[in-house]
């Protein structure tokens, strides 16, 4: 993963230099049992349309919302993991605007008192994290539009960064790191294609490199929405920077607006002129009590800190230090917790043996991941249990099997499961390392081919291959080649 946190300048055709400023707003649907303000099931992807709805999430007269503590706790977890400050006082506000998929004509969100302030991720400062509710989802077929309220009221976390992201690589890196963190904390599926995580980028450009002493540093920003892959985050920001440069170069002004991303044309396009926050007429929701978080035992900061799992940064450090793994392998394990569990468990059997760790990591991240690609599920990964992997690595280290043999065992495990040692025996993959026996065979070959021995002794090293071939024939390919080579060199 590239970590490019440097400022980048862009030169226009006229030779002027511009510096971009990027801020991100990232929404993530939280994994909770029920919705944010009612007890409907939070399961928008596996339900029939309008299956999980009630009078609260469809805004029937007189229905009163109540706060889902599980969702609050999940946001506090994220905040704590990012070293943000947990609010002492918090409240929910109404954000007023009309949208067909929002039956109340307002969204319950947080304005003045977000749950989390500050924090840092991927070398970028975070402004705030607050909690709100998702809208319903609408679809359009022919002349009809359909609204599904299963998603209405699903808890949604919004994280806002400071406008201090320096370039598009950095923006996409930030989003990837956030996804990894949300998954590690098990607070969100954070799947971009499903819309569980949604990224918006605020982009502006300036003729000044630094904001210090430059009141006009921040140009007019545009907000680019619907960036549903990390690649698109990067392309859309790059496009937007170039577009804004062209606007300024023509002597025009950049409009403050919301823009979408057209993947086919690889272009951003204008959606609507951007509202200011005053336009939403935020005010505290009179139906929801205000909170003194420190007075609610479930939100105890101490308990939340103590129950955080090992964070990605901590895991990276531990894997580099304890196992000396390659950076790509460490990232693979971070992104693939099922493989990581096998690695963690099997590695316990090889204390401080760097060779063993590297072999184990290699087989998991390359051979096994490759074999598993044939399947859509991870079901068969259990065939490569920590016990089996420990046996395979031990047999290699003891010279009992070759790396070719190990690969055969992996394929057999994938296809039929079983025990790695038993497979090695059944398939005759155990190499003979009995030196006495191998010496005897070498002597036999030496008597059988005296001419070749003469030439070999005279310096024709190529004949070693010939001798090895003969020995392999005699042993049915089961001789340990390293030991065999040594014996040939010793005796001849």
Residues at the contact surface with Zn ion, assessed by CB under 5 A: 38, 40, 54, 56-57
Min CB(54)–Zn ion separation in Å: 3
Burial class (CB in 10 A: 0-12, 13-18, 19+), 293: middle
Nearer to Zn ion (CB atom), residue 42 or residue 109: 42
Min CB(334)–Zn ion separation in Å: 36
Min CB(53)–Zn ion separation in Å: 6
Nearer to Zn ion (CB atom), residue 70 or residue 263: 70
Min CB(189)–Zn ion separation in Å: 20
Nearer to Zn ion (CB atom), residue 154 or residue 248: 154
For 161, the token pair is: 């960064």
Nearer to Zn ion (CB atom), residue 55 or residue 255: 55
Give the 3-state DSSP-derived string for the chain, with helices as H, strands as E and coil as C: CCCCCCCCCEECCCCCEEEEEEEEEEEEECCCCECCCCCCECCCCCCCCCCCCCCCCCCCCCCCCCCCHHHHHHHHHHHHHCCCEECCEECCEEEECCCCCCCCCEEEECCCCCCEECCEECCEEEEEEEEEECCCEEEEECCEEEEECCCCCCEEEEEEECCCECCHHHHHHHHHHHHHHHHHCCCCCCCCCCCCEEEEEEEEEECCCCCCCCCCCCCCCEEEEEECCHHHHHHHHHHHHHHHHHHHHCCCCCCCEEEEEECCCCEEEEEEECCCHHHHCCEECCCCCCEEHHHCHHHCHHHHHHCCCCCHHHHHHHHHHHHCCCHHHHHHHHHCHHHHHHHHHHHCCCCCCHHHHHHHHHHHHHHHHHHHCCCCCCHHHHHCCHHHHHHHHHHHHCCCCCHHHHHHHHHHHHHHCCCHHHHHHHCCCCCECCHHHHHHHHHHHHHHCHHHHHHHHCCCCCHHHHHHHHHHHHHCCCECHHHHHHHHHHHC
Min CB(50)–Zn ion separation in Å: 11
Min CB(150)–Zn ion separation in Å: 10
Nearer to Zn ion (CB atom), residue 152 or residue 197: 152
Min CB(56)–Zn ion separation in Å: 5
- Beta strands 257-262 and 222-227 are parallel
Residues contacting residue 343 through CB under 8 Å, at least 6 positions apart: 333, 360, 361, 364
Rounded Cα–Cα distance for residues 277 and 440 (Å): 88
Nearer to Zn ion (CB atom), residue 56 or residue 410: 56
Min CB(31)–Zn ion separation in Å: 17
Nearer to Zn ion (CB atom), residue 48 or residue 140: 48
Nearer to Zn ion (CB atom), residue 60 or residue 443: 60
Min CB(66)–Zn ion separation in Å: 11
Min CB(149)–Zn ion separation in Å: 8
Rounded Cα–Cα distance for residues 215 and 58 (Å): 46
Hunting for tokens 């590695």 — which residue is that? 347
Min CB(37)–Zn ion separation in Å: 8
Nearer to Zn ion (CB atom), residue 38 or residue 76: 38
For 463, the token pair is: 């004949």
Nearer to Zn ion (CB atom), residue 34 or residue 234: 34
Nearer to Zn ion (CB atom), residue 151 or residue 315: 151
Nearer to Zn ion (CB atom), residue 56 or residue 413: 56
Min CB(373)–Zn ion separation in Å: 41
Rounded Cα–Cα distance for residues 180 and 176 (Å): 6
């Amino acid at each position: 993963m590239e970590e490019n946190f440097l400022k980048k300048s862009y030169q226009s055709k006229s030779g002027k230099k511009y510096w971009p400023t990027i801020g991100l707003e990232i929404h993530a649907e939280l994994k909770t049992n029920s919705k944010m303000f009612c007890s409907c099931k939070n399961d928008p992807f596996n339900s029939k349309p309008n299956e999980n709805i009630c009078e609260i999430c469809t805004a029937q007269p007189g229905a009163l919302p109540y706060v889902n503590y599980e969702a609050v706790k999940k946001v506090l977890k994220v905040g704590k993991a990012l070293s943000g400050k947990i609010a002492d006082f918090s409240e929910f506000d109404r954000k007023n605007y009309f949208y067909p998929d929002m039956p109340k004509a307002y969204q319950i969100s947080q304005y003045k008192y977000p749950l989390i302030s500050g924090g840092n991720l991927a070398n970028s400062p975070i402004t705030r994290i607050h909690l709100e509710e998702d809208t319903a989802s609408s679809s359009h077929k022919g002349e009809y539009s359909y609204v599904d309220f299963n998603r209405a009221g699903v808890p949604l976390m919004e994280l806002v960064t400071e406008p201090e992201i320096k370039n598009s690589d950095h923006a996409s890196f930030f989003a990837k790191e956030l996804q990894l963190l949300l998954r590690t904390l098990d607070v969100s599926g954070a799947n971009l294609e499903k819309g569980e995580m949604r990224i918006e980028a605020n982009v502006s450009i300036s003729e000044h490199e630094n904001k210090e002493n430059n009141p006009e540093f921040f140009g007019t920003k545009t907000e680019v929405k619907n960036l549903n892959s990390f690649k698109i985050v990067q392309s859309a920001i790059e496009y937007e920077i170039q577009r804004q440069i062209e606007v300024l170069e023509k002597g025009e002004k950049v409009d403050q607006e919301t823009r979408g991303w057209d993947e086919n044309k690889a272009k951003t396009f204008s959606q609507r002129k951007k509202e200011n926050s005053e336009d939403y007429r935020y005010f505290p929701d009179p139906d929801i009590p205000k909170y003194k978080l420190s007075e609610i035992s479930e939100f105890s900061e101490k308990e939340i800190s103590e129950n955080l799992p090992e964070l990605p940064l901590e895991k990276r450090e531990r894997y580099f230090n304890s196992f000396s793994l390659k950076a790509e392998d460490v990232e693979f394990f971070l992104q693939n917790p099922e493989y990581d569990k096998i690695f963690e468990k099997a590695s316990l059997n090889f204390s401080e043996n760097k060779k063993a760790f590297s072999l184990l990591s290699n087989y998991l991240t390359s051979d096994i991941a490759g074999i598993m690609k044939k399947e859509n599920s991870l079901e068969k990964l259990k065939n490569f249990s920590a016990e089996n992997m420990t046996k395979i690595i031990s047999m290699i280290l003891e010279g009992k099997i070759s790396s070719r043999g190990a690969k055969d065992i992996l394929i057999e495990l994938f296809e039929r499961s079983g025990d790695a040692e038993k497979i090695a025996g059944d398939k005759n993959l155990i190499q003979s390392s009995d030196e006495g026996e191998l010496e005897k065979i070498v002597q036999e070959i030496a008597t059988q081919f005296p001419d070749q021995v003469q030439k070999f002794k005279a310096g024709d090293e190529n004949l070693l291959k010939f001798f090895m071939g003969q020995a392999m024939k005699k042993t049915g390919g089961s001789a340990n080649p390293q030991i065999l080579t040594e014996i040939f060199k010793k005796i001849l």
